[in-house]
Amino acid sequence: MARIRLQDVAERAGVSIKTVSNVVNGKGTITPATRERVQQALADLQYRPNVAARHLRRGASGMIAVALPELTQPYFAEVASELVRAAKARHLTVLLAQTDGLAESERAISDGLDMPLMDGLVMSPLALTAEDLRHRLDSTPIVLLGEHVGIDSPFPHVAIDNRRAARTATAHLAQIGRRRIAAIGAKRTDGPNATPAETAELRLDGYRAGLADAGLPWRDELVAAVADFHRADGASAMHRLLDLAEPPDAVFCFNDLLALGALRALRDRGLTAPDDVAVIGIDDIEEGRFSTPSLSTVAPDKRAIAETAIDLLMSLRGTAEPSPVHAVAGHRLVARESTTGPGGPP
């Protein structure tokens, strides 16, 4: 059978060769309708980029790709480190890529264009949907991290139970006697923002459940939305909460960076944790162990996330269709000085 050319795809889709090339290479500005038509033609004709053909001829390369949104985020950096360690133990080499959560970057990597000749891909997508990934141009095995694509996708998926983790954090604040428990990290609904929406929604659900468990009312004014999950966002949100007529006596932050920003805001206002406001986060990043006070947190089992992802990836080699395995890694409460006072665990 003759090799399918870009010209063949262009004729089938009724577009120019350049348009097909732009879709294949993730370049240019293309309307969703045109992109869908070209992708359908690519699928119908079973077109594959030349790099994929070379990969098949060469066989296994011993290399896998790991694509994460933001490597400067401590959580993603620590997960990347665990993925590298787990891969090395299985005699695999890892190439890291930062996508910045951009659709074109995620598409190029998932289509095997930016990182060709890989035996597999571990990816935490923020922009691509399950439908996008179903139409990827590369057949390299893929395992997904995080919540964005969701459990309804046909791809193997590893995450923590974010509702339960948030419920655990909120319950801890209630158990130490706090009654005006705020939340920092809800998704902003106005304007563009980079908040991981699915994660934020799940953790907000867990916060709500934790309040109900403790018999505490939901108060809209105690839920602070953020544009992103960075330190500055946490500090700004904490200042807004402290300006309330009745400020909170505790705050659950949807990740540790938000919590570290909240701690800084408390210090700037002459307040302390936990005496004035108890603070807890999620992620158990190393920075929180050495902050003053040390940060209470809910610790995802990052090693289990990495081990499970690499094992799932290896199990997919040689399979024609991905298996919709959805693995849940564990988490644990780590109570430190920001909720228990001096003498908490390091």
**pLDDT tens, residue by residue, 223-240:** 999 998 999 999 999 999
Phi-psi region of 91 (alpha: psi -120 to 50; beta: other; left: phi over 0): left
- Full-model pTM: 0.79
Residue 83's nearest CA partner among 286, 325, 313, 323 is 313
Comparing C-alpha atoms, which of 98, 108, 40 is closest to residue 72? 98
Decide if pLDDT at 320 tops 90: no
The angle, 0 to 180 degrees and rounded to 10, between the axes of the packed helices 256-268 and 74-89 is 150
Average pLDDT over residues 4-20: 88
Q: What one-character DSSP code corresponds to residue 221?
A: G
User: Rounded distance, CA 198 to CA 200, Å?
Assistant: 5
The HSE-up count of residue 289 (CA atoms within 13 Å, CB side) is 9
Instruction: Work out whether the CA dihedral 297, 301, 303, 306 comes out positive or negative.
Output: negative
Domains of the chain: residue spans and CATH: 51-160+303-330 (3.40.50.2300), 162-300+332-340 (3.40.50.2300)
pLDDT tens-place string over residues 160-205: 999 999 999 999 999 999 999 999 999 865 544 445 678 899 999 9
